[in-house]
Amino acid sequence: MKLSKKAAPDLPASPDRRRILKMSAWGLLSALSNNPATGAAGGRGGRERPGRPAGYSLVIKGARAYVGGRWSEPDIGVAEDGRLVVGAAPLPGESVLRAEGKVAAPGFIDILGDNSLLPEKTYEIFERHKLTDGVTAALQMHGGAADAGAFYEAFGRVPHWTHYGVSTKVMSIRHLAREVKERARLVERCLDEGALGVSHSLEYQPDTTPEEMLVYARLAKKYDRPLFLHLRYSSAERELEGVDEAVALARACGARLHIDHLHSTGGTYHMAEALDKIREAVRSGLEITTCVYPYSYWATYLDSARFAPGWQKRYGLTYGDLEVVGTGERLTEESFEKYRRMKGVLAAVPAGMTPLESTVDLALREDFCLVASDGGIESEPRANNHPRGAGCFATAIRRALSIGLPLENILEKMTSLPARVLRPALGRRGVLETGAPADLTVFDPETVDGAATVADPNRLSRGIEAVIVGGKVAYLKGKLMARNGGEISFARPRRNGIHAE
């Protein structure tokens, strides 16, 4: 059986797409085997059909994979129930991906995908750019939704390129209710309806008191969900105070805590000290993780509190240092004030603002640090979004290899570690083993890299050869294929009375 090319739209024409389509080192071949399907567990893969032996719907052959603590070249089969069989012996498949010289890994899990402004209008663009960066689960844990039940109801009715899921969005909930008691009720409703965690951004709503924050942390602990926290300070003088506040919060109630993008808020100027504080807390028994994205600059909305008066002194920047993402426009005092009165205009600071050598590179060497984008592409052909929304994971692999971090280490930070942070919602995703869900990314370790830039954030990542979501090929050599993404949430009663597991 050949993979259908129906309903498989080409991606928009670009140098990246033309380059990918010219690649011919390996391809998709129809193949059947005369041998029965046997895997590492000794079981049969696909159903037997009249006139031919049992086989798998798809088999990846020749790729290097990190399995059981070592690198090898197993056959990787996708059974008809959408689960993996990692075989020591050759596996027969209805379709075969020849992947010699490539790497097969669990699909990348982005726990800080950001598409919370108008997701009902932009989710397809958002998911496509995640998919082409190797992401199979794009989860919005930095923000998310103020009404998780309504979100899951709406998005359960449309097809998806990637798996999807949300946290609460305490920032929005605080706009809906004035009293902390009512805010807590709305947060708990989100958790009851499947939200993956509790999320808040203290820097953007600095009127949140430590006492109010403790209310949300205790709800996260009650439901055994992680608390995602954007720290309170990003200035050189006070950023470590934000780290201390986060550690104290976790210590006060025992909640699982994740600190968002430490290199841009909390560790920009004092990364070594910030990591020391987190490491000491982890050794004391607290469960605290953090993440980085592999870029030396941050970007955020000009109307946010981050650009409150005094920003030039806080960051050592001038108006002309800021660039409107996707346009190349450099700001003046007049244009800054104009855009600040508007909602949702994103500007980037200069490259080198968060030097990789003293921030990201240090954090990536810690067991408690993972990779997450804090981004998403929301429009075409030129989005007003940080390029990390399109290229975070390919860029992270290239950066890790360039500083001598073993490939298996950086892959763990993009697969099994984020799955552990959101346990048990992701089940056995993030691992390459028999019985795990068939979410896979195949990439070329020699060419993989991000291509998106501040001037053109929509450029596709290089070296991402194939992405399999839920057992179906979703992306192959520059072409979009099947939409097979599904919901990631906790068991919850839907509002129409149907219970979803």
Mean pLDDT per 10-residue segment, the chain (501 residues) = 36 41 34 29 32 72 96 96 91 94 98 91 97 98 95 96 97 98 98 97 97 98 98 96 98 98 97 98 98 95 93 94 95 96 93 96 98 97 96 98 98 98 96 97 98 97 98 96 95 42 32
228, part of any domain: yes
Strands 257-259 and 288-292, sheet pairing: parallel
| Radius of gyration over every alpha carbon of the chain, rounded to an integer in angstroms | 22
500, part of any domain: no
Q: Is residue 134 domain-shared with residue 86, that is, in the same domain?
A: no
Q: Is residue 111 domain-shared with residue 230, that is, in the same domain?
A: yes
Q: How many CB atoms lie within 10 A of CB 436?
A: 18
| Residue 282: burial class (beta carbons within 10 Å; 0-12, 13-18, 19+) | middle
Strand partners, 166: 140
Q: Could you tell me the residue range of the domain that residue 84 belongs to?
A: 15-105+449-480
pTM over 0.85: yes
CB burial readout 65-96, b (16+ within 10 A) else e: bbbeeeeeebbbbbbeebbbbbbeeebbbbbb
493, part of any domain: no
Residue where a domain terminates, one of 318, 348, 378: 348
370, part of any domain: yes
Distance (Å, rounded) from C-alpha 347 to C-alpha 329?
9
Identity of the residue numbered 361: D
297: left (phi over 0), alpha (psi -120 to 50) or beta: beta
Q: What is the domain-level CATH number for residue 409?
A: 3.20.20.140
Q: Is residue 240 domain-shared with residue 93, that is, in the same domain?
A: no
Helices (H), 322-365: 333-340, 360-364
295 touches 264 (CB < 8 A): no
147, part of any domain: yes
433, part of any domain: no
Residue corresponding to tokens 């946010």: 304
Distance (Å, rounded) from C-alpha 319 to C-alpha 308?
13
Strand partners, 487: 164
Q: Is residue 260 domain-shared with residue 388, that is, in the same domain?
A: yes
Give the model's pLDDT for residue 491: 73
Q: Is residue 290 domain-shared with residue 366, that is, in the same domain?
A: yes
Query: Hey, what are 425's tokens?
Result: 């919602």
Q: Is residue 202 domain-shared with residue 129, that is, in the same domain?
A: yes
499, part of any domain: no
Q: Is residue 66 domain-shared with residue 164, that is, in the same domain?
A: no
Residue where a domain terminates, one of 286, 317, 348: 348
Query: Coil, helix or strand for 346?
Result: strand
Strand partners, 289: 258
Q: Is residue 33 domain-shared with residue 91, that is, in the same domain?
A: yes
Query: Hey, what are 111's tokens?
Result: 């726990």
110 touches 372 (CB < 8 A): yes
Q: Is residue 72 domain-shared with residue 21, that is, in the same domain?
A: yes
Q: Is residue 100 domain-shared with residue 132, that is, in the same domain?
A: no
6, part of any domain: no
Total structural domains in the chain?
A: 3
Query: Hey, what are 447's tokens?
Result: 């060419």
Residue in 392, 435, 375 with CA at minimum distance from that of residue 108: 392
One-letter-per-residue 3-state SS of 403-443: CCCCHHHHHHCCCHHHHHHCCCCCCCCCCCCCCCECCEEEE
Residue where a domain terminates, one of 313, 348, 383: 348
Query: Hey, what are 173's tokens?
Result: 């909930």
Which residues have CB under 8 Å from 494's CB, separation 6+? 149, 152, 153, 500
Q: What is the domain-level CATH number for residue 52?
A: 2.30.40
Give the model's pLDDT for residue 72: 96
Q: Order the strands of the 135-145 sheet from edge to edge.
A: 108-110, 135-145, 163-168
Identity of the residue numbered 322: L
Q: Is residue 240 domain-shared with residue 329, that is, in the same domain?
A: no
- For the chain, the first-to-last Cα distance in angstroms comes to 32
Strand partners, 259: 229, 290
Q: Is residue 360 domain-shared with residue 249, that is, in the same domain?
A: yes
